[in-house]
Amino acid sequence: MGGGKRFAVLLCAEDSEYVKKRYGGYYGVFVEMLAEEGETWDVFRVANGEFPDDEQVDRFDGFVITGSCNDAHGNDAWICRLVSLLKKLDSLNKKVLGICFGHQ
C-alpha cells in the first residue's frame, strides 16, 4: 500500500496551540488524514519562507497546500513565491491538493 510515494505539505499558517497539542502541528493533521503506508511526507513552512528547491520538487509525487488566514491574492513575498511554485508544479503535472486559503 502506498508504493513508496513522496508528498510535501506546504504549510501556509502558524500552528495553533490546540493543533500543536493534538496533532503536533497542522502537518500532522494532513499526514494523519491522507498518508498511506509506505509513503514519505515532508513539510515546508512556506509562510516562513521555507520552500523546496528545484531538485526537491522533482522528488515529490504531490503537494498539499494548507489553509491560511492570509489573502491568497496578497503581495507578501512568500505568497508571490508560492504562486510561482504553483505555476511550476502545474507545468510539471504534479498533483496538488489546495485547502481553504484566505479570500477565495
Residue 41 lies in a domain: yes
Residue 1 lies in a domain: no
Residue 34 lies in a domain: yes
101: pLDDT strictly greater than 80: no
CATH value at residue 31: 3.40.50.880
Residue 15 lies in a domain: yes
Cell of 66: 494548507
Kindly report, residue by residue over 54-93, the tens digit of the pLDDT: 999 999 999 999 988 888 888 999 999 999 999 999 999 9
12: pLDDT strictly greater than 80: yes
pLDDT at 104 (0 to 100): 47
pTM above 0.85, yes or no: yes
Number of domains in the chain: 1
Kindly report, residue by residue over 15-24, the tens digit of the pLDDT: 889 888 988 8
The boundaries of the domain holding residue 81 are 6-103
Return the HEC string of 37-95: CCCEEEEECHHHCCCCCHHHHHHCCEEEECCECCCCCCCCHHHHHHHHHHHHHHHCCCE
